[in-house]
Amino acid sequence: MSESRKKLKLEELGRISVESYKSSEKTPLIIVLDNIRSLNNIGSVFRTSDAFRIEKIYLCGITATPPHRDIHKTALGATESVDWEYVEDTTDLLLRLNEDGVDTYAIEQAEDSIMLNNFQPSATNKTAIIMGNEVEGVQQEVIYACKGVIEIPQIGTKHSLNISVCTGVVVWDLYTKLLK
């Protein structure tokens, strides 16, 4: 057995402080949470966003906002590092983002969707991904307001992924494509 695979301790990870995070360059990705009801899912999205230095999270509709004990339970402090804003109406937000030159994409199963493995984010524009409600998905009017729809290819028997898992898959994919 090799001792070179020793698990690292937290102090060996070399993570930056919240202050350094706030002033560091961000990945040009924005996450929009459209009526997410699970506080644990919201916290998980914050934690994923921190891991990949996502620019901002927009919490829309019924999506709860920090501070909240159940968000904190899964965010583990990421609500302090990741910029976020509450906007009541998702469609209004998307119209504003579109006007600002942000490429907006619903993450959904829809006609004319682009499979995630075939999608290439813009090298010049920021990209916003819209994650939908755990039961209903992204609202149809929100889909209409987006530049397009990205779909995660799935080959199993279930119809969808949990929103926090889905966000992690999409963020990781876009992050690696933006690094090229």
Q: What is the pLDDT of residue 1?
A: 61
Q: How far apart are the first and last CA of the chain?
A: 35
- Write out the H or E segment, with its range, that includes residue 30: strand 27-34
Contact 122, 158 (CB under 8 A): no
Helix (H, G, I), strand (E, B) or coil at 129: strand
Backbone angles phi, psi at 86, to 5 degrees: -90, 130
Res 14: pLDDT: 85
Q: Where are the beta strands (DSSP E) in 40-135?
A: 54-60, 84-87, 103-107, 114-115, 127-131
Q: What is the pLDDT of residue 179?
A: 87
Give the per-residue pLDDT at 12: 86
DSSP structure string for 3-60: GGGPPPPGGGS-PPPHHHHHHS--EEEEEEEES---HHHHHHHHHHHHHTTEEEEEEE
What the block records as the tokens of 163 is 């929103």
pLDDT at 23: 94
pLDDT less than 70: residues of the chain = 1-2
What are the respective helix, strand and coil percentages of the chain, to the nearest 5? 40, 20, 40
Q: Cα dist. 41→10, 70, 93, 129 in Å?
A: 24, 9, 21, 16
Token output for 135: 């039961």
Do residues 149 and 114 make contact, with C-beta atoms less than 8 angstroms apart?
yes
Q: For position 155, what pLDDT does the model report?
A: 94
pLDDT at 148: 98
Q: Which tokens in the block code for residue 133?
A: 């409600």
The pTM of the full predicted model, rounded to 2 decimals, is 0.94
**What is the domain partition of the chain in residue ranges?**
24-179
| Spatial CA neighbour of 141 closest among 55, 41, 61, 59 | 61
**In this structure, which topology does domain 24-179 adopt according to CATH?**
Alpha/beta knot (3.40.1280)
Quick one: pLDDT at residue 105? Answer: 98
Residue 119 CB neighbours (<10 A): 18
